[in-house]
Structure 1
Amino acid sequence: MGDVRFLVLGPLAVEVSGQPIVLPAGRGRDLLALLVARANEVVPLHELGDTQALRKAISRLRRALGGTDFIRTYETGYLAHVTDSDLLDFRALRDQGRHAEALTLWRGDPFEGIDAVRETAEELTRERKAVEALVPVPRQVPAPLAQFAGRDRELAALRRSGPVTLLSGVGGAGKTTLALQWANQAHFPAGQLHVNLRGFDPTAPARPEEVIRSFLGALGVPPDSMPPSTGEQARLYRTLLRGKHMLLLLDNARDAGQVRPLLPDDPACRVVITSRDRMDDLDGITRVRIDVLSQAEARQVLAQRIGARATAEPQALSRLAARCGGLPLALAIVAARADPQHSLTALADDFADDDVLDFLDTGEETTSVRSVFDWSYQRLSGSAQRLFRLLGVHPGPDVSAAAARSLAGTTPALPELVAANLVTETGDGRFVLHDLVRAHARDLVDDLEGRDALRRLLDHYLHSAAVAAVELHRFITVVDIGLPAKGVVPELVHGHDEARRWFEAEIDVTATLCEVAVATGFDRHAWQFVWSIRNFMDIAGHWHHSVALMYDALKATHRLGDERAAALLHQLLAHTEHRLGDMAAAESHLAEALRLNESTGNLDGQIRVHRNYAFYMEAEGDLVSALHYARRAVELSERTGDVSSLAGSMNQVGWYVGRLGDRAKALEHCRAALTLLRECGDRLGEASTLDSIAYNLHHIGDFPGAIEHYRESLAVFTTIGEQFEIATTLVNLGDTHAATGQETEARHAWEQALEIYERLAHADATKARGRLTALSAASSSG
C-alpha cells in the first residue's frame, strides 16, 4: 500500500498515495478520530469501550486503510501509527517560524463535525489562533488624498464589482487616487497588499516574480524560508492568499501579461488593477472606465485644494477648471501653482495665455502632464504613434473611423489607441481625444507631416460633405471639387436621411475645418466647404455661424481670383443676410453676384440671382417688380434646360400672379410647376410649391383644400428638416384653421411655429406671437 496521510485540520480525511479514500461512517469514523487525535499513543480500551462492536469497527478501519500497520493492537488498547499528517506539518512549520505557511494547511475547523474529539479540536483551534497572532496582517495601501470629490458612480461600481476589477483610463485621470479612496473605505480583515507596477514610469516595469517575492515577505514568509524557484514561490503565494478576505491593489499596470501571474485563484481575495491599458485580453474581470471629471467636480476639487480664495473668485475657478479639461493631474498642478500672494484671476489669465502643456509642466517626469502622456505614446507601435500624431491635426471634438483612415492614408491603428486609453470610443462608433491629449499629439507632429495630413483631412471632409450635400438636395448647384488626395476614402451616404444624419454628426467638424482652411491657406477648400455645408446650415437655422464662414470664404475666392466662386459666395451671402433681416447687405451682395455672373456668362448663377431679387422685391412690397424678376428667371431656365430651376421659377411666377389677384392663373402656374418638380424629384421645390398652392386655395375660399396642401407641404419640409420653412408653413396653416373657426388647431400650429422661430432667434417670431395674442384676446372677449 502507498503512503498514508491523515488530515485533521478540517473535516477528517485520509489520503493514500495522494488520493482520498472512503472512510466508514458513524462509529468507525468517530473511532478513527479518537485514535488520530492521540496519534502514536495507546488509547486505553476503557476509553474506547471494550466490546465486540469495537473489534468489528477496528476491523473495518483496517480494511479501509489497506492493512493492519496503521492501527496497532496492544494489551491495554489501540494505537494509530501516524507518520504523515497535516497536523504534524503544521507544528513543524510553526516550530520553524514559518507561521504563514503553517496556516495554509488549515481547511476549516479541526475534526469538523465529530463531537467525540471536541476537547482535542478546541485545543487545536487555540494552537491555530496562537500562530495567527504571530503572522503580520499587511496594511500596505497608502492613505488617500485629503481632498477628494466626485466619482460617486465609479465608487459604486467598485463596491458592486466582482473579484477582479480593472480601473482604466488616460494617464492623469485619477485612477490611483480613486483606488486608494475606495480601498481605505472598504474592510479587508486579512489585510491589503499594494504595489506600484511602474507600467508607465520612466524606470523599468516591475517584474511579476519580484512582486511575488515582495508579497510573500509581507505575508509573513521569512527570507530563509522562501522557496528557491519562482514556480514554487508563485504556488506558495496563491496558497497563502487562498481563503483570505484580502485586497490586492495592483497599481499602474503595464498590460495583462504583467498582471496575470499576480492574480490569486480564490475569489475571496479581491483584486483591483489600475492601468492605462484596457487589457482586452484579460478575461473574467470587471472593467470600470475612469473618465475625466465633470466641470462641477473639477471646480469642487480645485476649491478643496485652493481653499477659501476659490469662493471669492468663482469665475476664475471655472476658467481654470475648464482649461484643465477635468483631468485630475492637471487640476492638482494648477492648485499647487495657486500662489496665495496672487489672485486666481491672474493665474487663469496666465494659463489662458501660455501653451497649455507648458503651463502644466512641473519639471518632474512623474507629475508633468506632457511626460505622463508621453509614456503612453512611447509604448505604441509605430503605426499607432503616427496615427496619434496625426489626430492632433484633427480639430475635434470627435472623429469617425473613416476620417481617421483618410487622415492616416491607410488602415488606422485606432484599436491600439483605444486600448491604450489615449482615444475613447463613443457608443455611436466615433472616437474622442481629451483636449490635453490632443494638444500633446499636436506638439508631436512636424510641419511637413502635419500639412500633408491636413490636406488629406480637408479632402476627406470636403468630398464627404459634397456627396452628402447632393443627397440632401439633389438640385444643389454643382461645383467641380476635383479629386481627393491619395489615400483619402470619402464617406458615401445614400439618400436624404443618411445625408442629414451625416451632417448632424459632422457639421461642427466641417465648419471648424472651413476656418482652418482659411487660416492655413487652403483657399479652394475654404470656399468649397462653405458651398457643401450651406444648405444644411440654412435648413438647421445656423445663419449667424454660416454668414461668418461665408465672409471668410469670399476673401479666399478673391485671393484665388475665382470670379465664378466669388459670385456663388455673394449669392449665398445675400440669401443668408436676408434670413438674418439685413436687407441692405443682402441686396448689395445680390447686385455683386449678378454682375459677376453676367461677366462670366454663368446662366445658372443669373437664375439664382433673379429668383432672389424677386423675394427681395416682395419683401419691399413691390410685387410687380418681383413678378418681373421671376419671369426673367423662367426665361433663363428655359435656355439652360434645367427642369428643377424652371419649375421653381414657374412656382415663383404663380405665387406673385396670385399675390396680384389672379388666383386661378396662379394655381395653373403652380400646379404645372408641381408636376415638373415631382417628375424630376426636387423635394424642396415640391414642398415650396405645395405651400403656394395651399395659399392660393385659401384665398379663393377652398379651406379644406388649403389645409390638405399645407399638411402635404409640412410633411415634405419635415422630412427634409427645413426648420424655417416648417415654421412659415405652420403660420399659414394656422391662418387657414382660424379662418374656418378652428381655434384649437390654429393655436397649436402657431405655438409650434413660435417655438421654432424662437429657437432660430428669427424676427418672424413676432408674427406667430402676435397671432396667438390676438386669438387669446378674442377668446377672452367672446
Structure 2
Amino acid sequence: MRFRILGPLQVYTGERWSAIRAAQPRAVLAVLLARAGQTVSADRLVDEIWGERPPRTAHNTVQGYVMRLRRLLGADANDLLLTKNRGYQVAVAAEELDAVAFKRLLESGQRDLAEGRLHAAAGELAAALALWHGPAFADVPATSIVAAETARLEQYRLTALETRLDTDLALGRHVETVDELHRLTIEYPLRERLRGLLMLALYRCGRRAEALETYSHGRAMLVKELGLEPGPELRRLEQDILSDEPGLMSGTVTGTVTTTTSLGTPPAQLPADIAGFAGRQTQLRRLDELLTGRDNATTVVISAIAGTAGVGKTALAVHWAHRVRHRFPDGQLHVDLRGYSTGTPMRPIEVLARFLRALGVAADQVPVEVDEAAALYRSLLADRRMIVLLDNAFEPDQVRPLLPGAPGCLVLVTSRCVLAGLVARDGAHELTLDVLTAEESGALLRELLGTERTEAQPRATAELAELCAHLPLALRIAAAQLLAQPKLTVAGYVAELRSGDRLDSLRVAGDDKTAVLPAFSQSYSALPGDTRRLFRLLGSAPGPEITAEIAAALADISRHDAAGHLATLAAGHLLEERAPGRYGCHDLLRHYAKERGRHEDTASERDSALRRLYDWYLRTVDDAAAMLYPHMRRMSSPPAHEQPTKVSSFDNHTDALAWLDAERANLVAAVTHAAEHRPWPVAGLITESLRGYFWLRMYTVDWLAVASAGQSIAESTGDPNAATAALLSLADINFRQGNHRQATEYSARALAIARRAGWSTGVATALSYLGNLHLQSGRLAEACEHHERALTLRRRAGWRSKQAGNLTGLGIIHRHLGSLKEALRYFNQALAINREVDSASGEAGALYQLGATWHDAGDLGQAADLLRHALRMAQEVGHRGLEAETRVELAAVHRDADRYTAAFEAATAALELARDANDRPCESDALRVLGTIHQRHGNHPEAAGYYRSALDLARDTGSRFTEAGALLGLAAVCHEPDYARQAVAIADEAGYRTLAAEARRAIDNFVHNG
C-alpha cells in the first residue's frame, strides 16, 4: 500500500492510484498520514473535523469513516489502519509515503552537493521535486494538523527547490535558471537564499547591474516588511559583486550549501520562561545594549560573584533569552554543564554530541574526538542565528569548544565564578550578578504570593526578604512554604524563621552554605520522614534524572510510594519535574541531599541503596535485552536464563526500546561512575547487557564511553570474563564503524583471555566475532572454521540463541560459495532458533538472509516477500543497520524486476540509513547497488561514480565481496578489462564462486568484442 500527500491525497492499492471521494473520510486519513506512525485520539479527530461544535454522534461517525477507509484499503487494512489507545494510527512503512521518500532524496541530494557530487545531487533533487503533484494535501480541508504539516512540507519543498537551483549554478547552468529565479523571487520575495541565487546567476550572465538592483530591491522589501537588514551572506555577496570577486564565476553562493544533517524543526531547547520573574531591570537593559550595540555579538557572559549560588543567574539568562529569541530564528540550544555538581562536570565532547544531534547530525555520525566534533559544530552554526545557553560552567576550557566560530549567534554563559579567561581571550562581556535589591525582592514576593497577601503585611514582607538575604532561590522556597500553608500569615512565617536556625545563616549574604542551606533545611524538615530519607538517597544516585522506579530501587519501597514521595519533593521545590514522571534538581540541592545523607545515614545504608539501584538497572536492562535482542544477551548469563521464570518488565519491543532510550543518560552515568569510583562487577554486567542496545541504536559516543568503562571495571576487578566481554564490546563498535584491524585485534585479545580462563562461552563468542571479521575480509575458509568451532561449543553448552548467529554466518559463507541449498538450510535453522527464543531482531536478520538467497536463486517474488517481512521487523525493534541492509537487497530485487524507480528509492533510503547508523560496509553495498541501477538505466557516468565510491569504502573497511562487485561494475561501465581481472583475483582468493564466474564471463565478452 502506498500513499501520496504531495498534491491531492491518493492511495495506491496495487492496481492504480485512487482518490478518497468523500471529504470527511479523506480528512480523517489526511490527519492520520500527517501523524504517520503516531496515534491520534478519537477526540482529536473530532476536533479536527468539526471544530468547536461537533455533532453528538461525532465519535460514532469517526468510527464509520475509519471502517470506510479500511474497506477502501483492502486486505491489508487491518495492518495499516490500527486502533490503539482510544485512537487510530496509520502504520505506513517509510517507502510507502511519498513525503518520506521526498525528504530522503532531498537530504541525499544535499549531502552530494556538499561533498561535490554535483550530477548525483542534481538527479536526486530532481527526483525529489518530481514527487510533488501540487500543494501538499491539495484536496483536504485545512484542519490544524493538516495545515501545520502542509506548511512544514512546503518549507521542505522550497529548500529542495533552492538546493536544486544551487546545484544547477554549480554545474554552470546560470543562463537556464535566471527566468525561473526571477519568477520565484517575485513569488517568495523575503527568501534571501533565492535572491542570492538570482544575483549570482545574473552576475554570471554578465548582468552585473541587474544583480545589484536585485539586492537593493530585496533589501528594501526586508526593511519595509520586517524591519531587518539582509543577512551576512547576502551582504557579503553584494560586496563581492561590487568588487568583481574572481571566485563568483565558479562554485555556489556562500552559505547556501546545506550540511549533511537531517531536516526538521529548529531546536527549541530553552527552558520555560521563569514564572514570576521580577527585577533585574538594570541587567536586562545592559544585555539589550550589548545586543543592540553589537548586532552580531558572539558571546555574552553572565557570571556571578564567587559563592552566590541561587542568585538567579539561570533565571536571568532564560528570561532574557525568551525576550530576544525572535531575533534568532534558527533556534536555541541549552545545556546544564554541571560545573559545580557533586558529580563530574559535563565534558565538552558530551555537550557537543548532544548539540550536534539537536542540529540534525545522526548520533552515530557524531565525532568522538572533541576537536572534530567542535569543528563540525562550528560549521553547522556558521551563518545561522541561534541562541546557545551554557548554564553552570566551571572554567573557560569547558566553554571554549562550545563557542561558534562566526558571528551571528548569541552565547549566554552562566557560572558561579567570573570567567575572566573568556573576557580576556574570547571577547566575552562580564556581567556580575548580585543579590536582589529590596524593591526587587518585594516585587518577586508580590508576584509569587499575590498582592493581597503581601500588602496586608508589608512590613512582614519586607522583613521576610531580609531574612532570605534577598536571594531569589531562598525567596522562592519561602514563598512555596507559605503557599503550602494558606492559613499561615507572612508575619507568622517570619516569626518561625526568626526562632529557628535559619536566621543566623540568612544574615550572611553571598555565602552558599549560610545563604542557601538554611532554606533547604526548612523545606527538608517539613517533609515526612520517609520522603526525607528518599531525598537523602537521591543525592548519591548517578545520572541526571530520577524516576519513580529509580527512587523505589534506592529506598527499597514500592513504585507507588516512591511516586508519592517524588510528588511531595516537587511540590516543595526540592525536585523539578522536567518531563512527565522524570525529575531532576539543581546541583546544590543534590549536594545538600548528599550532605544530609552523610550526616543521617550510615555508609552501609548508602552503599546498600546504590547496590539496589545497580541491581535494578541490571535486571531491567536484562529484561529489555531478552525482549529486543536475546541472541545478543550478555555472555555471562547461563543458558538456563534463556527461559525467564519471572514476568518481564516490558509488554512489547516498543516499550523495551523506549525505556532504554529514556534511561540511556542515566545508564551511561551509572557505569562510568562505577568505573571511576566503585568498580562493582554488577556495573560491568550492565555494560555487557547494553552492547546489543548500542548495536541496534548506534549512539557512538555513549557506546564508546560505556565500553571503555566496562574495560576499566574489568581491569580493576581482575575478572577475565568481564575483560573478555569488554574487549568484545569494543570490537563491536569498531566493526560497525569499519575499523576492521582494530576490531580483529580486540577480538583476538578476547579469545586469548577467554582461553586462558577456560571460559568456553567467551571462547565461542570471540570465535564468532573473528568468523564474522574473516567473512567480511573474504577469508571464507577461516570464517567457516571459526563459526563451526563456535557452533560446536555452543551446542555443547546448550545455548540455543547464540547458535543462530553461527548458523547465519555459515549460511552467508555457503551463499558466497554458490551453494544456495546449503545456505537456505542454515538460514532456516537460524530462523527456527530465533523464533524459538522469541528474538525479533534475530528473526528479522534470518528473514533478510533468506530473502537475499532466494534473490540469488532468481525467485524475485519469494525474495521480495521475505525482505519486506524482515524490513517490518527490523523497524519494529529499531535495528537501523539491518533495516539499511534489507533495503539494499530490496533495491536489488526491484532492479532485477525492472522496477527502477522503486529500486532507486529503496537504495537511496538504504544509503541514508547506513550513513545514519555509521554502518560503512552497508554504505558501500548501497553505493554499489545504486551503481548497478544507473548502469542498467544507461547512466554510465553516474554509475561509475557510485562504483568508485563503493570501491573506496569497501577497501577502507576490508569488505572484499563489495570490492569485487564494484570492480566488476566499473569494468562494465568503463570498458576496462583490468577491473574484471582484479575482480576475478579477489573472488578466486576468497572463494566467491558465483562472482568469479560472472567476472570471467565479463572478461570473455571483452575478448570476444575485441
TM-score (norm 1): 0.54
- Name the structure 2 match of 1:363: 511
What's the offset of the Cα at 1:154?
Answer: 11
1:255 partnered with 2:482: yes
Distance in 2 between residues matched to 1:571 and 1:606, nearest whole Å: 11
Find the partner of 2:586 among 423, 434, 450.
434
- Name the structure 2 match of 1:498: 655
- Name the structure 1 match of 2:951: none
Contact 1:694 1:710 (8 Å CA) reproduced: yes
What's the offset of the Cα at 1:478?
Answer: 5.3
- Name the structure 1 match of 2:895: 738
Distance in 2 between residues matched to 1:736 and 1:143, nearest whole Å: 67
Amino acid at match of 2:597: V
Find the partner of 2:535 among 375, 378, 388.
388
Distance in 2 between residues matched to 1:142 and 1:662, nearest whole Å: 77
Distance in 2 between residues matched to 1:203 and 1:713, nearest whole Å: 67
- Name the structure 2 match of 1:729: 886
Structure 2 CA distance for partners of 1:607 and 1:479, relative to 1, 3 Å: closer
Find the partner of 1:468 among 624, 638, 641.
624
Amino acid at match of 1:768: A
Bigger mean CA offset, 453-462 vs 727-736: 453-462
1:455 partnered with 2:718: no
| Alignment gaps of 5+ in structure 2 | 1-276, 285-315, 324-433, 470-475, 494-507, 639-645, 941-1010
- Name the structure 2 match of 1:557: 714
1:399 partnered with 2:546: yes
Distance in 2 between residues matched to 1:560 and 1:144, nearest whole Å: 54
Structure 2 CA distance for partners of 1:659 and 1:385, relative to 1, 3 Å: same
Contact 1:543 1:580 (8 Å CA) reproduced: no
1:704 partnered with 2:861: yes
Distance in 1 between residues matched to 2:484 and 2:727, nearest whole Å: 62
Q: SS of the counterpart of 1:521? A: coil
Distance in 1 between residues matched to 2:781 and 2:279, nearest whole Å: 84
Contact 2:634 2:689 (8 Å CA) reproduced: no
| 1:749-760 superposed matches below 5 A | 749-760=906-917
What's the offset of the Cα at 1:256?
Answer: 4.6
Contact 1:753 1:768 (8 Å CA) reproduced: yes
Structure 2 CA distance for partners of 1:653 and 1:762, relative to 1, 3 Å: closer
- Name the structure 2 match of 1:96: none
1:180 partnered with 2:443: yes
Contact 1:557 1:565 (8 Å CA) reproduced: yes
Distance in 2 between residues matched to 1:365 and 1:682, nearest whole Å: 54
1:690 partnered with 2:847: yes
Q: SS of the counterpart of 2:510? A: coil
Distance in 2 between residues matched to 1:181 and 1:710, nearest whole Å: 63
Query: How many residues were matched structurally?
Result: 478
1:526 partnered with 2:683: yes
1:768 partnered with 2:926: yes
Contact 2:871 2:887 (8 Å CA) reproduced: yes
- Name the structure 2 match of 1:408: 555
Distance in 2 between residues matched to 1:250 and 1:642, nearest whole Å: 57
Q: SS of the counterpart of 1:431? A: strand
Distance in 1 between residues matched to 2:789 and 2:579, nearest whole Å: 52
Distance in 2 between residues matched to 1:602 and 1:669, nearest whole Å: 27
Task: Report the aligned-residue RMSD.
Answer: 4.3
Structure 2 CA distance for partners of 1:603 and 1:722, relative to 1, 3 Å: same
Distance in 2 between residues matched to 1:417 and 1:199, nearest whole Å: 27
What's the offset of the Cα at 1:417?
Answer: 0.8
Contact 1:377 1:385 (8 Å CA) reproduced: yes
Contact 2:737 2:918 (8 Å CA) reproduced: no
Distance in 1 between residues matched to 2:870 and 2:838, nearest whole Å: 15
Distance in 2 between residues matched to 1:771 and 1:639, nearest whole Å: 41
Contact 1:574 1:585 (8 Å CA) reproduced: yes
1:510 partnered with 2:667: yes
- Name the structure 1 match of 2:573: 421
Distance in 2 between residues matched to 1:505 and 1:550, nearest whole Å: 19
What's the offset of the Cα at 1:509?
Answer: 0.5
Contact 1:469 1:535 (8 Å CA) reproduced: yes
Contact 2:888 2:907 (8 Å CA) reproduced: yes
Distance in 1 between residues matched to 2:888 and 2:463, nearest whole Å: 65
Contact 2:820 2:853 (8 Å CA) reproduced: yes
- Name the structure 2 match of 1:545: 702
Larger Rg: 1
Structure 2 CA distance for partners of 1:491 and 1:522, relative to 1, 3 Å: farther
Q: SS of the counterpart of 2:796? A: helix
Structure 2 CA distance for partners of 1:669 and 1:256, relative to 1, 3 Å: closer
TM-score (norm 2): 0.42
Cα deviation, 1:482-518, whole Å, max 9, x if unaligned, reads xxxxxxx999334433322221121210111001111
- Name the structure 2 match of 1:716: 873
Cα deviation, 1:533-577, whole Å, max 9, x if unaligned, reads 221122111244323322332232233232222222222222222
Amino acid at match of 2:823: A
Contact 1:387 1:408 (8 Å CA) reproduced: yes
Q: SS of the counterpart of 1:575? A: helix
Amino acid at match of 1:549: V
Normalized per residue, which structure has more helix?
A: 2
Structure 2 CA distance for partners of 1:631 and 1:204, relative to 1, 3 Å: closer
Q: SS of the counterpart of 1:252? A: helix
| Alignment gaps of 5+ in structure 1 | 1-140, 156-171, 206-248, 264-272, 274-359, 482-488
What's the offset of the Cα at 1:713?
Answer: 1.1
Structure 2 CA distance for partners of 1:622 and 1:183, relative to 1, 3 Å: same
Distance in 2 between residues matched to 1:532 and 1:522, nearest whole Å: 16
- Name the structure 1 match of 2:727: 570
Amino acid at match of 1:435: D
Contact 2:540 2:594 (8 Å CA) reproduced: yes
What's the offset of the Cα at 1:660?
Answer: 0.9
Q: SS of the counterpart of 2:546? A: strand
Q: SS of the counterpart of 2:479? A: strand
Distance in 1 between residues matched to 2:807 and 2:637, nearest whole Å: 28
Contact 1:613 1:629 (8 Å CA) reproduced: yes
| 1:23-422 superposed matches below 5 A | 145-148=281-284, 180=443, 195=458, 197=461, 252=479, 254-256=481-483, 258-260=485-487, 362-363=510-511, 368-410=515-557, 411-412=561-562, 413-422=565-574
Bigger mean CA offset, 603-612 vs 145-154: 145-154
What's the offset of the Cα at 1:641?
Answer: 3.1
Distance in 2 between residues matched to 1:675 and 1:514, nearest whole Å: 35
What's the offset of the Cα at 1:180?
Answer: 3.4
Distance in 1 between residues matched to 2:541 and 2:436, nearest whole Å: 26
Task: Give % identity.
Answer: 24
Amino acid at match of 2:926: A
Amino acid at match of 2:540: V
Cα deviation, 1:399-418, whole Å, max 9, x if unaligned, reads 11121122123444323212
What's the offset of the Cα at 1:152?
Answer: 9.8
Q: SS of the counterpart of 1:425? A: strand
Contact 1:472 1:720 (8 Å CA) reproduced: yes
Distance in 2 between residues matched to 1:525 and 1:693, nearest whole Å: 38
